[in-house]
Amino acid sequence: MALINENFIKIPATYLFSEIAKRVAQHKEANPNAPIIRMGIGDVSLPLPNASIDAMIKAAEEQRSSETFRGYGPEQGYDFLRKAIVENDFTAHGIAIEMDEVFVSDGAKSDTGNIGDIFDLNNKIAITDPSYPVYVDTNAMAGRAGEPTESGEWTNLVYLSCNSENNFVPSLPKEKVDIVYLCYPNNPTGTTLTKEQLKVWVDYAKANKVVLLFDAAYEAFITEENVPHSIYEIEGAKDVAIEFRSFSKTAGFTGTRCGYTVVPKQLMGYTESGEAVALNKLWNRRQCTKFNGTSYVVQRAAEATYSEEGKKQVKELLSIYTENANIIREGLIKAGYTVFGGKNAPYVWAKAPQGMTSWEYFDFLLKEKNIVTTPGAGFGASGEGYVRFSAFNTKENTIEAMNRLL
């Protein structure tokens, strides 16, 4: 008899975005001509930069010849991409990161979910609430989260509430925790932390031997000076933090799949007896065992985003989504909404009308306005009463969606 991992049947049977897709499909089936505008799931709508397409074509052509053919690549990523990452994302900003601290992957979602492999099941986990569902669900699958409650929270997770009352700045945990997930610019709220606010977390982690898992997938949308693009801008962060990055929202790689994780060599975890162990070595071992590396063709496409032409094209893509976020923010305010985020992020967090739950307002927007959003309750208890609008659409659709709300 093959026994299952019973933690899987404790989590909701339907993933948030699968439920959204199901409801949208039902609406579309009942209304085949409905002019639906999708502002829910954070998938991009604009094509890849031409520099990346050209690089992929060239890399694919290399596969025709035995002289240039590539088979298995390094599990950590090819040196050409890791070098480009270090030079452009860190060295250029005064941050000292070494190539062997960078691990190329198929995206930040995979890495934020898989990182738990190198940590003991008895670690106490803290997450900001609301948060990206992967942080919660993967810990639930592993058995760290405890049991689900009627409210949808888990008995063994520590929830750090982020709401309008605390300006979406999470307070330090009041109880002992071992690992904290932080995502800034934040998904789903679109809010950010200043360098001073993030330093509070780094100092706390150093004082308490806590590991910070810092999801920086949306750093490219930052426009304000005092908002850090990387946690490693904060002194001491390399002692306590793992950072996750993605090409998905930066350069449209949601389907192409490429990201990377930075694990500083000085960052330590501990055995039960108190012996310090480098997490870099553990993550490298995990990747070598469970991952055969990101496609050579895709890595060449990612490398091309750092070329002179690639940087220009990526900037053009980002400017469109950034303008969309501003259109959404201003449009919602004009329509009488209370909104947050949208200044340094592609998401706008909007309060639902009084008396309506997140899912009720989601259904109203879908059925009455043909606008797809994401219900805030799907991101945690503190997300109830909000919906998330995504800027990943065309400018024309974004303007049309806001006009429908007036």
pLDDT (tens digit, 9 = 90+) per residue, 67-84? 999 999 999 999 999 999
- One-letter amino acid at 267 equals L
**34-54: pLDDT as tens digits:** 999 999 877 898 999 999 999
Instruction: Give mean pLDDT, residues 224-239.
Output: 97
62 three-class SS: helix
Instruction: Give mean pLDDT, residues 125-151.
Output: 95
Q: Rounded CA gap, 305 and 320, in Å?
A: 17
Residue 174 has pLDDT above 90, yes or no: yes
- The full set of domains in the chain, from first to last, is 14-47+310-405 (3.90.1150.10), 79-304 (3.40.640.10)
Q: Rounded CA gap, 192 and 182, in Å?
A: 10
pLDDT of residue 42: 77
Q: Rounded CA gap, 227 and 18, in Å?
A: 33
- One-letter amino acid at 145 equals A
- Provide the pLDDT confidence category of residue 16 given band limits of 50, 70 and 90: confident
* Cα within 13 Å of Cα(239), Cβ side: 13
Residue 87 has pLDDT above 80, yes or no: yes
How are beta strands 241-246 and 157-161 bridged, if at all?
unpaired
Question: Do the Cβ atoms of 193 and 138 come closer than 8 Å?
Answer: no
Q: Rounded CA gap, 379 and 23, in Å?
A: 17
Instruction: Give mean pLDDT, residues 283-296.
Output: 98
Residue 182 has pLDDT above 90, yes or no: yes
Q: Which of 117, 243, 223 is CA-nearest to residue 183?
A: 243
Scan for tokens 């890791």, then name that residue: 82
Report whether the peptide linkage leading into residue 185 is cis, meaning its omega lies within 30 degrees of zero. yes
**272-288: pLDDT as tens digits:** 999 999 999 999 999 99
Percentage of residues in the chain with pLDDT exceeding 70? 100
**∠ CA 284-279-380, rounded to 5°:** 100
Residue 212 has pLDDT above 80, yes or no: yes
- Provide the pLDDT confidence category of residue 152 given band limits of 50, 70 and 90: confident
Question: Do the Cβ atoms of 89 and 284 come closer than 8 Å?
Answer: no
pLDDT of residue 151: 83
Q: Which of 172, 173, 220 is CA-nearest to residue 200?
A: 172
Residue 178 has pLDDT above 80, yes or no: yes
Rounded to the nearest angstrom, the gap between the alpha carbon of residue 293 and the centroid of all alpha carbons in its chain is 20
pLDDT of residue 15: 75
Q: Rounded CA gap, 39 and 35, in Å?
A: 13
Residue 145 has pLDDT above 80, yes or no: yes
pLDDT of residue 312: 98
Taken in order 262, 250, 110, 208, the sign of the CA dihedral is positive
Query: Across all residues in the chain, what is the average pLDDT?
Result: 96
Instruction: Give mean pLDDT, residues 138-153.
Output: 94
Question: Which one-letter DSSP state was computed for residue 86?
Answer: I
Q: Rounded CA gap, 269 and 285, in Å?
A: 15
Question: Do the Cβ atoms of 325 and 342 come closer than 8 Å?
Answer: yes
Residue 162 has pLDDT above 90, yes or no: yes
Token pair in block for residue 49: 């930069």
- 205 Cβ neighbours under 8 A, 6+ residues apart: 180, 211, 212, 240, 241
Residue 214's DSSP bridge partners are 182, 243
**344-400: pLDDT as tens digits:** 999 999 999 999 999 999 999 999 999 999 999 999 999 999 999 999 999 999 999
Q: Is 401 exposed, middle or buried (0-12, 13-18, 19+ CB in 10 A)?
A: buried
CA distances from 188 to 33, 172, 350, 387 (A): 30, 20, 11, 9
Q: Which of 346, 338, 332, 333 is CA-nearest to residue 401?
A: 332
pLDDT of residue 153: 93
Residue 266 has pLDDT above 90, yes or no: yes
Question: Do the Cβ atoms of 155 and 146 come closer than 8 Å?
Answer: yes
**Least confident stretch, 37-41, 128-132, 134-138:** 37-41
Instruction: Give mean pLDDT, residues 249-271.
Output: 97
